[in-house]
Amino acid sequence: MVSIKNLHKKFGSQKVLDGLELEIKEKGIIAILGPNGSGKTTLIKSILGMVIPDKGTNKIDGKDIKNRWDYRQQLDYLPQIANFPGNLKVIELITMIKDLRGLPARDKELIDFFKIEHFLDKKLTKLSGGMKQKVNLVLCFMFDSPLIILDEPTSGLDPVSLLRLRKFIQQEKENGKTILITSHIMDFVEDVADRIIFLLEGKIYFDGTVNELKESTQEPDFEHAIAKLLTKEDV
């Protein structure tokens, strides 16, 4: 589904992506991890078409995304921070996004699943961070796209909502979706991810399963295995 070849990107003198190569053909949950400045956000934004690489190709379903926009109809994105128009009510925002996309939506199902029916008539400025994140999740998932990108999806969620999110992501995986996730919550990543892609200095430093990471670092604990990658020891 996603094929990235020799991707380079600089911002001024800072090299952010350095010949990155990535193939994602399988359905499932892929976690993109790495320290701040490793290139995670730039990689995601290049897939979304929000960052234009200096060099390299970025293909989705075998087609280069350069100078195209239509591929985004098959993609949904949950930003880390959602900047909603505060003067709108929640239900007005949902209706507006449905009208803009013009695609079949499963908003009623998701409103019930994430338990936001009680604040549909509230203005977005009146919502807590956790409430806004639930709205963010409804907007992201309601178009049933085959490729989903979730940037820190657990942000602001209470334990019950986190369990609901975990269940829903697993359901989406079973429905044949490809889901890319960034997260700093290692327990969440270990629980849901089928594949770990760890970036350092704009390159992929590790690509494999959770168990393969533990074996290669000789660490039985996932969080310690990630920490060991940060030391740049040979793995």
pLDDT at 186: 92
- The CATH number of residue 197's host domain is 3.40.50.300
pLDDT at 233: 47
pLDDT at 53: 94
pLDDT at 234: 46
Quote the pTM value: 0.92
- 183 within domain boundaries: yes
- 12 within domain boundaries: yes
Domain count along the chain: 1
Residue 134, domain extent:
2-230
pLDDT lower than 70: segments of the chain: 232-235
Distance of alpha carbon 138 from the chain centroid: 14
- 169 within domain boundaries: yes
- 235 within domain boundaries: no
Model pLDDT for residues 36-67, shown as the tens digit of each residue = 889 999 999 999 999 999 999 999 988 999 98
Amino acid at 147: L
- 64 within domain boundaries: yes
